[in-house]
Structure 1
Amino acid sequence: MSIAGSPHPWRWPRTLGARLFLILLAGLILAHALSFSALFLERYMATRNVMLNTLESDVATSIAILDRLPANERANWLDRLDRGTYRFELGNGLPGVPDMSKRGAEIAAKIEAAGGQRFPIHVESIPGDAMRLQAHLTLSDGAPLTIDVRPAAMPLADWLPYVLVAQLLLLVLCTWFAVRQAIRPLVDLAHAADTLDPNKKAPRLSESGPSEVAYAATAFNAMRDRIAHYLEERVQILAAISHDLQTPITRMKLRAEVGEDSAEKDKLIQDLTEIERLVHEGVAYARSAHGDAEKSSRIDITSFMESLVYDYQDTGKAVTIEGKILAPVDTRPHALRRIFTNLIDNALKFGGSAEVYLESDKNGQATVKIMDRGPGIPEDHLEAVLQPFFRLEQSRNRGTGGTGLGLAIAHQLALAIGASLQLRNRAGGGLSAEVTIR
């Protein structure tokens, strides 16, 4: 929301909490200002009436006293009759004009009423001095008397500004607290939705509080349970399909193997083997996305990786390891082994060799890098290759392109154990797959 042509257009804050805070605070301040204005106006009117009535009686009494005093003693009484807002002067005073404001007219009427018929009073406004009035009359002995009136604003207590500031601070505090109480459940719900992972045993959203909040939290927890149930059903269905396919695939392979040797027989056996591998990896991916019941344990990551690398070296694969990670880590060993097996297999497949490098920082965060000198991955595909069934080799030959699930399984398992997998192209060619274990 903005005002056209304004050099500094007004924009609403982006957060709901700030908007509610501004609306509530503005409403409370406006209501408080209206209440204060009404009270101030009522006090002003009451005080004005009291002051005008007091002015009339005081002026009448003062005129009577000065009229009865001898002319040579009147000057001594002027200071005694001074009231701050008006004082008496012996003489004709200053010339004025008859025009005056509404408030001046009210004061003039009271002064004229105080003089009565015995002392006719003529009130004038003094030019150039706002609200200054002078009333002229003649005493019984013919001496001129002037009443110099300087109306003052209604006095305010010195502590009133401090009270107003304290009230304003109280309004701000109460508004902030009310908005915080109203927004907190929404923030918790948004955080729970953002970090939703049915595979992890995260605490359920609190179902306490106002009925609307409790209902939303209950609905969210129920949705989370349904998602977890659907994921579990998916794994069970894929496992059942895999199990049911094993028998006919095995039977077809046996029948093909007992047939006469031919090029068609070899192709058929190769296709059946690819189907079997695809089924196994599809189930493995589903289980990696859903997680499993493996418990975390504390392991020495250096010894763990050395054992894995030695297994590859025993089979004649070109895999080397460097670096050390001294601090043990809490993780799921079988899932971690599957991650690094997939990454090393990928490096061997496309680079011919794999380099394993271990390092850790001062915060205890361990990083394992699996590096190769293969063709690498285009920069715009580094994120896409972590998705299931994505292959840079788009041919139908799975011997060169694979199933497209190896990196996806490693990525899902890394997320499931609280780690992260990031791919980077190496300077000089090749790929670096970095697994960070927190």
Structure 2
Amino acid sequence: MTLVPRSLFGRVVLILLCGLVAAQALTFALIWYERAHASQAMMLSYLGRDVASSVAMLERLSPAERAGWLAKLERRTYRYRLGAVANSRERTPVFDDPAAASVAHSLGPGYQVEVEGGIDDAQRRLHVRLRDGTPLAIELAPAGLPFARWLPALLAAQLGLLGLSCWWAVRLATRPLGQLARAAEALTPSQGASPLPEHGPVEVAQAARSFNAMQARIAGHLQERTRMLAAIAHDLQTPVTRMRLRTELMDDEGERDKWQGDLTAMQALIQEGIAYARSAHAAAEPAVRFDLDALLDALAADYRDAGQPVSVEGAVGTPLLSRPQALRRIVTNLVDNGLKFADSVTIEAGRDEAHVSIAVLDRGLGIPEDQLAAVLQPFYRLEGSRNAATGGSGLGLAIAQELALALGGTLVLSNRPGGGLSARLALPLQAG
């Protein structure tokens, strides 16, 4: 498991957000450092002047009055103590201690300032003697910069604004890519397919234009294929009809029946080839809302009227938005395929929250597992695995597969426990 998002949207948002947060943190740290440096300089200057004023005031007071003024002269970061103070550390001259240097500078040459403790000590003392010889200790207790209570809320608001800005900017930039990906997944070769909007960044708009051009070329090629097959079928109808008429004049009845059987198979092959070519254009049929249960019941009733044992189990129970003629063709092809290899067929219908399921079930011999996908390809025949006596062009399942894809659904074949084949069609409830 990785913490890096898999989507382009998530990765770009993460990179931008991390970069902006790092830049914001660095800016905050620099401002805080500069503020601390400036505050320290101001504090040292104020410390020297304030201590000089306090010392001058103590000089003017009598020794008995001085102790009462110490609390009034006390500050947040330092306080005064009169009299001798026990030394726990060695006293040193001012040298480079900035606080002691500021005090010594403000007091002037008439006072000698000594330091007890180093600069890094949490508490250190400055020692001075008043003019009458009274020792005065200034206990320093440096405190950090005051932290405003509203600062965390401001930082959180800034981070939130950065995150929202990143999310919105990346969404605007990558949304056309998402539209392109969805359009590629739902690519339909029909002339009625809606083109992608050609807007957004230059690269994305160019990709959308290229995709629209590709979709138009695919539609043109398929239209040309359909016209070519229709022309071939039309041209073949005349010689097939002439040959059928000539076979009617043949004296040998057995030979005549063989010729007529071959001509019938040839004509069926031509018609199924045209049907397969046209199956890619199922999206040209307008989508309507219809009662799928009624359609399946009517289809099964037609088969039973023709003496074919076809039954329906289950129900969808809700109208379906799809293309009824294309859906009827899919189910018909699947039922016909099942009746070739089994005595009866069951149509099983159901639904979940987002999909409708139609399963055509039979109890034939099934299909080898390694060829379940291959039989959905055009002109692929697998008679040995089902019934060697049956014919067909190998286009029935291929047509059903093409129509299922055109409706935005999936067709999956699987062998049933106990024998037989299950052809399950799954369609979205709002298929367009």
Post-superposition CA distance 1:147-191 (Å, at most 9, x none): 222222222322222222221222222222222222222112111
In the alignment of these two chains, the number of paired residues is 425
Q: Alpha-carbon deviations, 1:242-277, whole Å to 9, x = none?
A: 222233344455556656749887766655543333
SS at match of 1:343: helix
1:14-413 correspondence runs (5 A):
14-95=6-87, 96-97=89-90, 105-125=97-117, 130-199=121-190, 201-254=192-245, 258=249, 261=252, 270-291=261-282, 293-295=284-286, 308-309=299-300, 312=303, 317-323=307-313, 332=323, 334-351=325-342, 353-357=343-347, 359-360=349-350, 369-393=359-383, 400-413=390-403
**CA distance in 1: counterparts of 2:222 and 2:93, whole angstroms:** 87
The residue aligned with 2:418 is: 428
Q: Which moved more, 1:91-100 or 1:188-197?
A: 91-100
CA contact (8 A) 2:300 2:312 kept: no
Seen in structure 2, the aligned counterparts of structure 1 residues 270 and 32 have a Cα distance that, compared at 3 Å, is: same
- Matches of 1:366 and 1:65, distance apart in 2: 94
RMSD: 3.7
* 3-state SS of 1:73 partner: helix
Relative to structure 1, is the Cα distance of residues 310 and 124 closer, same or farther in structure 2, using a 3 angstrom cutoff?
A: closer
Tell me how far apart the structure 2 counterparts of residues 258 and 299 of structure 1 sit (CA, whole Å). 50
Which stretch has the larger CA shift, 66-75 or 300-309?
A: 300-309
Q: What is the aligned partner in structure 2 of residue 6 from structure 1?
A: none
Partner of 1:3: none
Residues 206-234 of structure 1, C-alpha deviations (whole Å, 9 max, x = no match): 23344443333233222222221221111
**Counterpart AA for 1:29:** V
Amino acid corresponding to residue 173 of structure 1 in structure 2: L
- Contact 2:192–2:284 at 8 Å: present in 1 too? no
Q: Return the alpha-carbon distance in structure 2 between the equivalents of residues 365 and 173 of structure 1.
A: 35
Shift of 1:24: 1.0
Contact kept, 8 Å, 1:344 with 1:354, in 2: the verdict is no
What residue identity is the alignment partner of 2:341? F
How far residue 235 of structure 1 moved from its aligned partner, in angstroms, is 0.9
Query: Residues of 2 paired with 1:328 and 1:157: CA distance?
Result: 62
Question: Partners in 1 of 2:320 and 2:25 — Cα distance?
Answer: 62
Structure 1: segments with no counterpart, 5+ residues: 1-8
Quote how far apart the aligned CAs of 1:99 are.
7.2
- Cα distance, 1:106 vs. partner? 0.7
Contact 1:235–1:283 (CA under 8 A) maintained in structure 2:
yes
Cα 1:197/1:398, change in 2 over 3 Å = farther
Deviations 1:53-83 (A, max 9, x none): 1211222222222223322222122122212
Measure how far apart 1:236 and its partner are. Answer: 0.9
Distance 1:324 1:14, change over 3 A: closer
Question: For the Cα contact (< 8 Å) 1:347–1:371, is it kept in 2?
Answer: yes
Question: What secondary structure does 1:400 align onto?
Answer: coil
Name the amino acid aligned to 1:230: H
Structure 1 pair 188–319 and aligned structure 2 pair: CA distance change class (3 A):
same
For the structure 1 residues 81 and 220, does the alpha-carbon distance in structure 2 shift closer, same or farther, using more than 3 Å as the test?
same
TM-score (norm 2): 0.83
8 Å contact 1:239–1:283 — kept in the other structure? Answer: yes
**Does the residue aligned with 1:141 lie in a helix, a strand or coil?**
coil
Letter in 2 for 1:391: R
Which amino acid in the other structure matches residue 67 of structure 1? Answer: E
Change (3 A) 1:101 1:286: farther
Distance 1:306 1:87 in 2: 98
Return the offset for 1:312. Answer: 4.7
Rounded to whole Å, the distance in 2 between the matches of 1:50 and 1:367 is 79
User: What amino acid maps onto 1:34 in structure 2?
Assistant: L
* Deviation of the 1:349 alpha carbon: 2.1
Cα distance in 2 between the residues matched to 1:242 and 1:116: 117
